[in-house]
Structure 1
Amino acid sequence: MSAESDTQSAVGIENAIGWPLGSALGGAIGALAFGLLMWVYDPDTVSAAIPGIYGLDPVGVVGWGIHIVHGILLGLLFGLLVTRNVFLGVIMTSPETGALSRTGLTLRLIGAGFVFGLAIWAILPLLVLPVWIEAIGTGTATEFPTTAIESMLGHVIFGSVLGLVFALVTDLRSRSPETPLEG
């Protein structure tokens, strides 16, 4: 058995339930949780503003579909990042402090998802979205609540749910951070 297949087996890449599936599923469920928060706060954000950022008319469930696809893509990015040695080593390290050493991998991945959600909120709606809206010049998307507390809370919920689902679906416990992922 090669070192690459040992590594793939350790992170669940070769199994039916590997990190890509855990990431995509976590992203979809996280986006659904975030979408429900937006739906309660302002249903037009999901149905009109999200399609509006692509210049689309608010038709049916288009906004929900786009939002779930965003979640899946961001979930895959999260999975790709947390399975890389540099991040996985930090997540799986055994810290000297008593409180941190008692946390399990699931709680650490939820924390990583929380931080990922904050980073996504800081980068996408705060930096990228205003530039994107200006570039395409759609009026519907200008009502997007980028800096609202609901947006930040939604991204944190997204990331935390993503981290939880990822931890439950993907088995990283047997993964040694010293084992390289790339061949």
Structure 2
Amino acid sequence: MSFQVNSPTTFGIGGSLNWLVGGAVGGAIGSLLFGVLLWLVDPTIISEGIPAIYGLEPAGTAGWLFHLGHGLVLGSIFGLLVTRRPIFGTLMADVETGFIDAMGPGLRLTLAGFVYGLAVWAVLPVIVLPIWMSLGIGDAGFPAFAFGTLVGHLLYGLLLGALFALIVEIAAEAEAVDAPFEEAGDSPRE
């Protein structure tokens, strides 16, 4: 069976904790890709910058472990958020905008991952990290505003959303969910 963006995922992991598995796997793989990008730009970001955030000296693979752990936790949070009824209903809603209406659940979840990656970049390295450093916790070895970190977070989010859409079975939920607002098909046309 092939994955089609115009229909809900009808294969994958079902059950009540499918969001956790999909988010964790997507987050770990997404952070691995992001880490490789950072490694290619400047290996010291992973090996020294990330441990420095916690006030640690560079030690072997500690930076990689922290980075993968961050991706796993943030991916699980993404899974939790996008499967809550108000957000999932909004993502799956019938809308009047033609290009959004033509997108299937898989593409909508992938784009939600992109937006999530942007939000993570805006909140964690841009806002929280400078506050963290001003409190004297850790060392400012991580380039918060670097273009590479923005691109990396966006790639992380895209891969997270796409893998989540592939891993998590959402067919029944996508058909049964109600939008938290009036859908395009519900309003009378003039």
TM-score, with structure 1 as normaliser: 0.85
Question: Which digits, 9 at most, give the CA deviation of each residue in 1:17-53, with x for residues without a partner?
Answer: x111000000000100110110000000001010111
Aligned to 1:86: 86
> CA separation of 1:92/1:137 partners in 2, compared to 1, >3 Å: closer, same or farther?
closer
Which residue of the partner structure matches residue 129 of structure 1?
A: 129
Code of the aligned partner of 1:62: A
Matched, 1:13 2:15: yes
Can you list the C-alpha shifts for 1:48-100, whole angstroms capped at 9, x where unaligned?
A: 01011111111111100000000011001101110011110111112223222
Q: Which has the higher helix share?
A: 1
- The CA deviation at 1:12 is 2.9
SS at 1:142 equivalent: coil
- Distance in 2 (CA, whole Å) between partners of 1:79 and 1:65 is 21
| CA–CA distance in structure 2, aligned partners of residues 94 and 19 of structure 1 | 23
C-alpha displacement at 1:142, in angstroms? 1.4
Partner of 1:56, secondary structure, is coil
User: How much does 1:137 deviate?
Assistant: 4.6
**Residue-pair matches, total:** 165
| Aligned position for 1:8 | none
> Quick one: distance in 1 between partners of 2:20 and 2:31?
16
How far apart are the structure 1 equivalents of 2:141 and 2:14? 42
Structure 1 stretches of at least 4 aligned residues deviating more than 4 Å after TM superposition: none
Instruction: Give runs of aligned pairs for residues 4-153 of structure 1, distance below 5 A.
Output: 12-14=14-16, 18-138=18-138, 141-153=139-151
The whole-number CA distance in structure 1 between the counterparts of 2:116 and 2:162 is 12
- What's the % identity of the aligned pairs? 45
Aligned mates of 1:75, 1:121 — CA distance in 2:
13
SS of corresponding position for 2:135: helix
Coordinate RMSD, CA, aligned: 1.7
Question: Unaligned 5+ residue runs, structure 1?
Answer: 1-10
Partner of 1:3: none
Whether contact under 8 Å (2:117, 2:155) holds in the other structure is yes
Q: Contact 2:46–2:63 (CA<8 Å) still a contact in 1?
A: yes
